[in-house]
């Protein structure tokens, strides 16, 4: 008798093709004006349904057509998050780690980011090298050893020992820049291009020697923004030339060609222009793993521009899209339970994944009751805040909205078609490696919307509550 050996890809293909014999659907819901927070609300059975009518709201799922492979969802492990974490009592520290990184009792984060040197969400500005030391002989990360490094190690342990981390600089040291200031933008002086490229390698080697593996890096956080905090300007041409002439070859020479190099790391508005300048240049493109982006183009009054992501993905399908940062700005403690916070996250996650994104990174995973610490007063929201005076945690609805994705879509999952017949029902879907299908459905209206989840001539009837998000697990 011949033995049948199935590869992972073949197994997934068989599993998804078997959805014509549907079993059950488990519905998990978070909804405004209810106590539902990642709560199981129904278990449903499929029944035959031929051609649906136009009058019947439906979410149509086609598992036979798959797209990108999912890498993970996570948040940034910044100085601010680490310092706030250190102020919590031990039981609340453990609660936070479990809430974020435990897939059974939390939301199962599987991705992370941290800053190289100081950023706005640090309590002060600092550098790893002494003034004028272009040889980097004085390089050390002693600053990070008090709060951030122990915090990152605790997160890795809570995630089961594996937590892919990418690292991003906000600014080179002041003396490497034409404005001699880590704040207020400025440009990296060309005579320090090599020293700065060496700095990335030094940082990665140092963190890895301390037990923190580095999965990847971005070239520069927000390279077109002159900020009152740490910032540095790279035009598209400057970033291209720095990558192909310095950073790419330096990483390769150091044996780090396996580190995922992320370019742009800024908003969606200029995303295609930046990607095209970088990726049409073969010498630069060969070093670039993907294009990172943020959601702050909304500062102009614009909506989130998912079409620009999609254009990059269509034009350069061999490169990866990564959401590298987003948060709700202008912190106000009185608004910490406002529902719009989670809905912005939900809209971005759905739109980003449907445009081809493979990984999604929130900004600070934890901030204090003032939306900081932040050394320039740029206070923001996080999914979880600590009341450091009382030693308690405050969960915004963003935490639960994120959980509808991170808890039920796991690394290695494949996105499949999920098409809504009503614009009021926003949706995306992934098939996990265990064969379970996760369908996300979000409703940002004031109305309850009955709908059918339809697949292969079968359907289940369910409903989307006003201002809610649901994950429907098909197995």
222 included as an active-site residue: yes
For residue 15, count other CB atoms closer than 10 A to its CB: 18
Strands (E), 117-208: 165-169
Q: Choose the catalytic residue: 83, 297, 325, 343.
A: 325
In this structure, are strands 260-267 and 290-294 parallel, antiparallel, or unpaired? parallel
The pair phi, psi for residue 420, each rounded to 5°, is: -100, 140
Token pair in block for residue 165: 């981390």
* Three-state secondary structure call for residue 131: coil
Q: Choose the catalytic residue: 83, 222, 230, 239.
A: 222
**Burial (CB count within 10 angstroms: exposed 0-12, middle 13-18, buried 19+), residue 170:** buried
131 included as an active-site residue: no
Strand partners for 104 = none
Strands (E), 159-221: 165-169, 216-218
* Separation of alpha carbons 335 and 185, rounded Å: 31
End-to-end CA distance of the chain: 30
Strands (E), 15-174: 24-31, 39-45, 47-48, 58-69, 72-76, 111-116, 165-169
* Separation of alpha carbons 218 and 37, rounded Å: 34
Alpha helices in 18-141 (DSSP H): 79-86, 90-101
CA geometry: angle 174, 177, 180, nearest 5 deg: 50
What sign does the CA torsion over 191, 193, 198, 204 have? positive
Q: Which residues are catalytic?
A: 222, 325
């Amino acid at each position: 008798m011949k033995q049948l050996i199935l590869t992972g890809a073949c197994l997934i293909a068989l599993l998804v093709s078997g959805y014509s014999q549907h079993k059950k659907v488990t519905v998990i819901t978070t909804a405004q004006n209810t106590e539902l927070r990642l709560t199981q609300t129904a278990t449903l059975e499929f029944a035959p349904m031929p051609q649906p009518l136009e009058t019947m709201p439906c979410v149509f799922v086609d598992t036979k057509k798959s797209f990108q492979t999912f890498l993970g969802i996570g948040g940034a492990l910044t100085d601010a998050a680490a310092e706030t974490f250190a102020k919590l009592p031990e039981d609340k520290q453990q609660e936070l780690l479990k809430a974020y990184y435990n897939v059974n009792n939390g939301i199962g984060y599987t991705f992370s980011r941290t800053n190289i040197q100081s950023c706005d969400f640090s309590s002060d500005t600092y550098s790893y090298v002494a003034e004028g030391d272009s040889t980097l002989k004085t390089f050390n990360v002693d600053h990070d050893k008090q709060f951030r490094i122990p915090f990152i190690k605790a997160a890795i342990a809570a995630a089961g020992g594996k937590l892919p981390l990418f690292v991003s600089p906000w600014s080179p040291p002041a003396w490497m820049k034409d404005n001699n200031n880590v704040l207020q933008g400025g440009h990296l002086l060309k005579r320090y291009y090599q020293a700065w490229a060496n700095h990335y390698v030094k940082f990665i080697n140092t963190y890895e020697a301390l037990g923190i593996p580095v999965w990847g890096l971005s070239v520069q956080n927000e390279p077109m923004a002159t900020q009152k905090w740490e910032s540095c300007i790279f035009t598209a041409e400057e970033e291209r030339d720095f990558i192909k002439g310095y950073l790419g070859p330096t990483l390769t020479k150091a044996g780090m060609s396996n580190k995922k190099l992320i370019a742009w790391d800024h908003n969606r508005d200029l995303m295609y222009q930046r990607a095209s300048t970088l990726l049409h240049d073969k010498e630069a493109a060969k070093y670039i793993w993907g294009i990172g982006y943020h959601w702050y183009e909304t500062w102009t009054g614009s909506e989130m521009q998912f079409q620009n992501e999609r254009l990059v993905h269509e034009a350069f399908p061999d490169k990866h899209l990564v959401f590298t940062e987003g948060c709700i700005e202008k912190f106000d403690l009185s608004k910490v339970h406002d529902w719009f916070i989670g809905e912005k996250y939900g809209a971005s996650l759905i739109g980003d994944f449907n445009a081809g994104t493979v990984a999604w990174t929130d900004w600070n995973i934890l901030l204090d009751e003032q939306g900081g610490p932040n050394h320039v007063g740029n206070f923001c929201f996080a999914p979880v805040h600590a009341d450091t005076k009382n030693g308690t945690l405050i969960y915004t609805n963003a935490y639960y909205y994120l959980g509808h994705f991170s808890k039920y879509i796991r690394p290695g999952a494949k996105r499949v078609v999920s098409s809504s017949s009503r614009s009021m029902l926003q949706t995306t879907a992934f098939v996990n490696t265990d064969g379970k299908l996760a369908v996300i459905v979000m409703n940002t209206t004031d109305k309850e919307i009955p709908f059918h989840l339809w697949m292969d001539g079968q359907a289940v009837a369910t409903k989307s509550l006003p201002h809610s998000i649901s994950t429907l697990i098909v197995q």
